[in-house]
Structure 1
Amino acid sequence: MTQSVDPRARAAEVAGRLTGPGGPFEMVVEDVLGTPIPVIRHRARALSEILANSVALGEREYLVTADRRITYAEHAAAVGALARALRDRHGIGKGDRVGILAANTPEWVMTFWAAQCLGAIAVGYNAWWVPREIAFGIAHTTPSVLIADAERAARLAELDLDVPVLTMESDLPALIAESGGGELPRTPVDEDDPAIILYTSGTSGRPKGAVHSQRNLLAVIDYHRFNDALAAAFRGEDDDGAPKGRRFLLTSPLFHIASLHNLVIPRMVTGDTAIIHQGGFDADRVLSLIERERVTNWGAMPTMASRLLAADLSRYDLSCLAAFSLNSAPSSHALQERLRQRLPVTRTVLATSYGMTECSTAATLAAPAELAAFPDTVGRPVIGVALEIRDEAGEPVCDGVEGEIWVRSPYVMLGYWQDEAATAAAITPDRWLRTGDIGVMEQGRLRLSGRRSDLILRGGENVYPTEVEQCLEEHPAVRECAVVGIPDADLGQRVAALVVVDDAAAVSAEDLTEFARARLAYYKVPVRWRITTTALTRNATGKVVRTGVADALATDAPTG
């Protein structure tokens, strides 16, 4: 008689074998910035070491765009030449900032790695910033050199900048050509030295520069290596670390952890290829790219997946896809189900995760089977992550009780650049990151409720916009929506919703009110609606920009 195997027990057994004494990912506790933190014993200690080792990957493709194909060997040679030029011509050394202001290009990636050769700190500025925001970022991190694409360089013309600007289209190719030949520069660094600064994509207020260390990024690489080894072990195989020929589609900005930390950087160790989509997201262009380049892995923002489903998928051969995940923003059960219906591969591989810029990578991961069974989960803590739900006093709460999500791991950022107050508010002395997100742990699985800052307080009841938004998105006429709180003299706040549809005549506020009342407690049902065909404004990570939504809705007459 065949005995059934508990998948969770099996996963724990395999993970224990990989991370236990003598395992390839053996975990030990070491002092990290004054706090005992579990880390992988056998690990690289500098990103420049990773780059140097990548030369052995030779003619394998590392970066591919619509019109360029760059091998690992070509990439390493170009990075070495650029690093020498930055060092010799611009005096870049350890601790100096190298600013990057550009859309997704191979030169963006090369500049990052060149900075690592020199022990410098790359700074990924938001390519969507307007001149005023650019001026703030440059004043904040004071780069010794700024590398920009032509479009962003043009925006700099109206600014009075005291920093050299090198263009990716002309200056970098010339520097690389002139400085070619020679060994990769190597500057000694410590594990907890800064490697990169990425600006948080806050929906209001000035952005903060999250500082990620060498340790943070090296730990992210090992997280991805561990996932490969875990998957191989479940198949009854040993993962020898050899390249697997995977082709990862990059559709998020490189100034975001999804593309840089969790796609481009780990490929340097796994030997896979990054297929870079350039330009604005267009479903048909992306589908053509998947088909032409035989993309195997894609981590998409939910809004991208939604736009993908609006296209005619039957026109494309998508049989190459073997892994698909929804990342960077919450996804609704309705979207997950539409994906499974329209994109067959997702029926068995659809996954999701929860993370943030400050975490460097995912804090939790929901595997396909668990996501299918519990569509509102974002999964379980990943290797090396301690995660707790705590109350307003900072005390852990019981299973099933809502509270703030706290995370501690080797992935957590050093802090915010030149902002001690913000760092102290976010990271405790014993290195717990207070995420500001609200969630619940249920039998080891995390479920998100929303952001503390987005919480709607209605007459003593807490309303989390994410819950209401996901309910409304189940309505067949609703494409997307944003739920906010509006002032109310009696209750403090009431719930309001901005709803995006394809046909404004196809649904009314009364229809939506009735739909919500059948699915939500009365106090969660929006009392004010605005129905539009204009897409919501989103930031670089796919999150809705809520600034102005509440003001617009506050001027409308109640309709619920």
Structure 2
Amino acid sequence: MLDRLRTVLAHDTDRPAILGTTRAGRPRTRATRGQLHDLTEGYARALHHRGLRAGDTLGVAAIPGPAALALMLAAHRLGLRTAILDPQAGPDVLLARLRLATPALVVADGAAQALASWAAPLARRVHLALPPLGDLAPVATLGRRWPGAAPALEIPGGPPPPVYEGDGDAVIVFTSGTTSSPRAVVHSRAGLDAGMQAVTDLVRPDAESPVAGGTFFVLAPALVAGAPVAMPAGRPHTLARQLAHLHPQATYLTPPELRAALDAGTRFSGRVYSGSAPVSAALLGRVRDAGATEAWGVYALTEVFPAAAVESREKIAFDGGGDLLGALLPGVSARLDAAGVLELRAPQMCDRYLGAAPHEWVSTGDIARLETPHVILSGRAKDMILRAAENIYPGLYEPSLHVPGVALALLVGVPAADQDETVAAVIELQPGASETAVRAALRDPLTRMGDARPDHLVFAPVPTSGRSRKPDRAAASALAAAHIADTR
């Protein structure tokens, strides 16, 4: 698909490819198809000129946009392996990841380099930090240079280098793991292509109207289909105005982004997709009520993207225990291990963890049950709560807590005596919702939870973490513990 993308960008060169937005929410062209093509070819010459060859690793620390996309396409053109560097991981973890990936070159935009130097004190206040990027690899600047930044990634003249046509590693995406043992997910070129084809089949983009979304798995399929891609505005009220002007055929936002957009009064059009964190039936229902023709929850992991999907109507109608993730996508196989943990195998699964043997199956860490072709989630194995010698899996019960007025709800364990735990429900209200009304609506669901009924209800914003702002269960547990201590 990425090979096709480079080809199609060379045609209809004046058509918009990447759209941004003004403060008023009106779309503006950030790059035409021709500009994106020329930038890709230029970066390929630049990386080749710097001595990078097929199989080498390129570290990338850049804000998503035309330049970052062109750099990724250029790396793929040359057969390089791209390692994605996330400033939110913290400097110690990033240093460990750099040591593991050993990039031949790190390309970073000016903002990322500022986080590692003169802007570091300010960045730490908002939990962003990078180590000195030049400590373990040479650095080049992507786009505009900021004060103190490394030399620019200069684009030389001359013919383009040959296109790499084999398989091999395509991208390294870091996930969980610790400073001493980072986990690096390695996707092959064939696996990456299969993932983007699966997204294409699910989203069904065409050339008639824009697609809104900022991830690589959204950008490439949409551009291949001929659709311009709009990078979603970061501010919810601006996003609301942006989508009102665009009327996109499809929109991809994470659940926290969706909740913020809905709270800002956003109206949707076409199909809306959400993943990277749990997507409740209530949230999908709110999206449909806000104008979407379809609202989809997508089950995906860093290791397998995507794996299953469910549309709002089916998820809302589901009355069984647990969280309906939907039907497995074509080509995806599933099984349960002896502990009930879901394992997946698919053309779009990662090849391996860096330094480990290739996967035959990927363990998701999710407790689930299989009702062919559907997957129903009971919870994360590591999130299990132990109370009075009974195992409680939060994912089995959390969907029932999403009554009207609840934006997000987590069931967490709070340490108690003798290594036991008490159970707390941390409940975030929608703007304007009444705590009294929500408590009344929760009476029946809490009664039906039986032995898993929480000992405490904590009404507070649910803590989130990471780039996709997933619910942070450890932080939620600490919040609940503080609340319990204050009310004693």
TM-score, structure 1 normalization: 0.73
Partner of 1:545: 472
Q: Equivalent residue for 1:81?
A: 42
Deviation of the 1:469 alpha carbon: 3.1
Query: 1:328 pairs with 256, 276, 285, which one?
Result: 276
Look up the match of 1:356: 301
Whole-angstrom distance in 2 between the partners of 1:499 and 1:204: 32
Taking the TM superposition and a 5 Å limit, the aligned residue runs for 1:518-557 are 518-532=446-460, 534-557=461-484
Distance 1:521 1:162 in 2: 52
Q: Equivalent residues in 2 for 1:49-68 (5 A)? A: 50-66=5-21, 67-68=28-29
Preserved CA contact (<8 Å) 1:484 1:495:
yes
Distance 1:145 1:463, change over 3 A: same
Query: What is the match of residue 184 of structure 2?
Result: 209
**RMSD over equivalenced CA pairs, Å:** 3.4
For the 8 Å contact 1:54–1:76, the answer to whether it is kept is yes
Query: Shift of residue 332 of structure 1?
Result: 2.0
Q: Does 1:267 find its partner at 2:222?
A: yes
* Matching of residues 442-521 of structure 1 within 5 Å: 442-474=371-403, 476=405, 478-489=406-417, 492-501=420-429, 507=435, 511=439, 515=443, 518-521=446-449
* Residues paired across the two proteins, number: 461
After superposition, the C-alpha distances for 1:410-437 in whole angstroms (9 at most, x for unaligned) are 111011123x2xx68xx4xxx1111111
**For residues 313 and 161 of structure 2, what CA distance do their matches in structure 1 show?**
44
Tell me which amino acid in the other structure corresponds to 2:407: R
SS at match of 1:220: helix
For structure 2, the 5+ residue unaligned runs are: 22-27, 118-130
Confirm or deny that 1:245 pairs with 2:208. Answer: yes
Correspondence for 2:342: 405
Question: Aligned pair 1:294/2:222, yes or no?
Answer: no
Aligned-pair CA distance for 1:515: 2.6
Does the 8 A contact of 2:170 with 2:189 survive in 1? Answer: yes
Report the 3-state secondary structure (helix = DSSP H, G, I; strand = E; otherwise coil) of the residue aligned with 2:190: helix
Contact 1:61 1:70 in 2 (8 A): yes
| Aligned counterparts, 1:303-452, within 5 A | 303-313=256-266, 318=268, 321-341=269-289, 343-346=290-293, 349-359=294-304, 361-367=305-311, 369-374=313-318, 376-392=323-339, 403-418=340-355, 420=356, 427=359, 431-452=360-381
Q: 2:141 is matched by which residue type in structure 1?
A: T
- Aligned equivalents of 1:515, 1:206: Cα separation in 2: 44
**Alpha-carbon distance in 2 for matches of 1:503, 1:312:** 11
State how far apart, in whole Å, the 1-side matches of 2:445 and 2:272 are.
34
Structure 1 residues 521, 547: CA separation in 2 closer, same or farther (over 3 Å shift)?
closer
Gaps of 5+ in 1: 1-43, 232-240, 252-258, 393-402
SS of 2:88 mapped into structure 1: coil
> For residues 436 and 184 of structure 1, what CA distance do their matches in structure 2 show?
43
Q: Whole-Å Cα distance in 2 between the matches of residues 178 and 220 of structure 1? A: 31
Which of 160, 166, 186 is equivalent to 2:163? 186
Secondary structure of the structure 2 residue equivalent to 1:244 = coil
Amino acid in structure 2 at the alignment position of 1:470 = P
Residues of 2 paired with 1:136 and 1:503: CA distance?
41
Letter in 1 for 2:345: R
1:107 to partner: Cα distance: 1.3
| TM-superposed deviation, 1:198 | 0.9
Cα gap change, 1:222 to 1:330, in 2 (>3 Å): same
Check the 8 A contact 1:77/1:180 in 2, yes or no. Answer: no
**Deviation per residue, 1:514-541 (Å, 9 max, x gap):** 6366443232222134333x45223223
| CA distance in structure 1 between the partners assigned to 2:448 and 2:34 by the alignment | 57
Kept after mapping to 2: 8 A contact 1:484/1:549: yes
1:200 is aligned to 2:161: no
SS for the counterpart of 2:297 is strand
- Aligned partner of residue 358 in structure 1, secondary structure: coil
| Percent identical residues | 24
CA distance in 2, matches of 1:484, 1:535: 11
Mapped contact 1:300–1:327 kept (Cα < 8 A): yes
Q: 1:164 to 1:518 in 2, by over 3 A?
A: closer
Deviation at 1:369, TM superposition (A): 4.6
Match of residue 30, structure 2, among 69, 72, 81: 69
* SS across alignment from 1:208: strand
CA contact (8 A) 1:148 1:168 kept: yes
User: Could you tell me which of 232, 236, 247 is aligned with 1:283?
Assistant: 236
Q: Whole-Å Cα distance in 1 between the matches of residues 80 and 163 of structure 2? A: 11
Aligned-partner Cα distance in 1 for 2:86–2:454 = 34
Counterpart-to-counterpart distance in 1, 2:422 and 2:179: 21
CA distance in 1, matches of 2:429, 2:246: 33
In structure 2, distance between residues paired with 1:87 and 1:474: 56
Q: Does structure 1 retain, via aligned residues, the 8 Å contact 2:92–2:179?
A: no
Could you say which residue in structure 1 is the equivalent of 2:67? 107
Structure 1 stretch 68-77 or stretch 488-497: which is displaced more? 488-497
| 2:308 maps to amino acid | T
